[in-house]
Chain A
Amino acid sequence: MTETALSATAEAVGARPASDKVSIVMFSGTADKFIPLAVLAQAGAAMGMEVRVFVTGFALHAFTKERHGLPFPAELVSLAPAVARGMSAKHVAPWDDMLRQANELGAKVYAYSMMSGVMGLEADDFNDLVDDVLGAATFLQTAEAGETFFI
C-alpha cells in the first residue's frame, strides 16, 4: 500500500494529525494490565484526546463475546484479593465499563488482524468493545506523532 493510501486509511478511522492523541498497544492478557488500559483510555477521552487502543496478542481473548476469565500473573496472585477488595471499597468501575465510557467519549478499540487470525478469531467473534479489525500499518499511521503506550 502506498503512503498516501495508508494516510487515507488512517484518516478513515478518524486519526488526527495533532499530537493530542494517545495510542495504546494492549498486548498483555493478564488481569492486572487491564485497569491501566481502561484508566488511560477513559482519562484521555475525557480530556478530549484522540484515544486509539490496538488490541493484539493474548489481550485479544478479553475482547471476545465468549467471556474469558483473566488470569493474574503468578507473582501477583497473593496480592490479587486485597486489590480486589480495595477496588470494591473505592467503587472503582470494572475495566470494561471504563473502556465503554471511553468509547462513549470517542475512544476507539481495534483488534489486530494478523493475531486475530492466529488465534482463530473473526470480526464476528469480538464483543461490542471492538470497533474494527485493522492491520499494523494503519495503526502506526494512526499513532504517528502522538503518545504511544505498550501495555
Chain B
Amino acid sequence: MDATQPAHTLVDSQGSTCPGPITDLAMAYRRSKVGDVIELWATDPGVK
C-alpha cells in the first residue's frame, strides 16, 4: 500500500463483548495515520 494514501481499515469485532470492540478500535487507531478511515463492526449492544 502507498504510505502516502489514507488507508481504510476494517476492524471486525463481531462476537467480541465489551470492552473488546473499543479496545480493538483503540489498537487500530494506534497503528493508523492522520486521514486513515477505520470501520468498526461490532455486535455488542454497548457499541452505538
| Chain B residues touching A, majority SS | helix
Chain B: interface size category: 10 to 19
Stretch from A11-19, A40-48, A139-147 that touches the partner: A40-48
Q: Is the CB of B17 within 8 A of A92?
A: yes
Interface size on A, residues (CB 8 A): 14
Per-residue CB proximity of A2-17 to B under 8 Å, as 1/0? 0000000000000000
| A42 CA to B23 CA, complexed, in Å | 7
**B22 touches which one: A47, A90, A91, A93 (CB < 8 A)?**
A47
Q: Is the CB of B18 within 8 A of A39?
A: yes
Q: Is the CB of B15 within 8 A of A46?
A: no
Q: Does A148 contact B (CB under 8 A)?
A: no
Q: Does A101 contact B (CB under 8 A)?
A: yes
| CB-nearest residue of chain A to B23 | A46
Cβ < 8 Å to B, chain A residues 43-67: 43, 45-48
- Cβ-Cβ contact count across A and B, 8 Å cutoff: 29
| A53 CA to B30 CA, complexed, in Å | 23
| CB-nearest residue of chain A to B22 | A46
Q: Does B26 contact A (CB under 8 A)?
A: yes
Q: Is the CB of A43 within 8 A of B16?
A: no
B29 CB, min distance to chain A CBs, angstroms? 9
| CB-nearest residue of chain B to A98 | B19
Q: Is the CB of A91 within 8 A of B19?
A: no
Contacts of A91 in B (CB 8 A): 15-17
Q: Does A105 contact B (CB under 8 A)?
A: yes
Contacts A43-B22, A48-B26, A105-B23 supplied; 12 other A-B pairs, CB < 8 Å: A39-B19, A42-B23, A43-B23, A45-B23, A46-B22, A46-B23, A46-B25, A47-B22, A91-B15, A91-B16, A91-B17, A105-B27
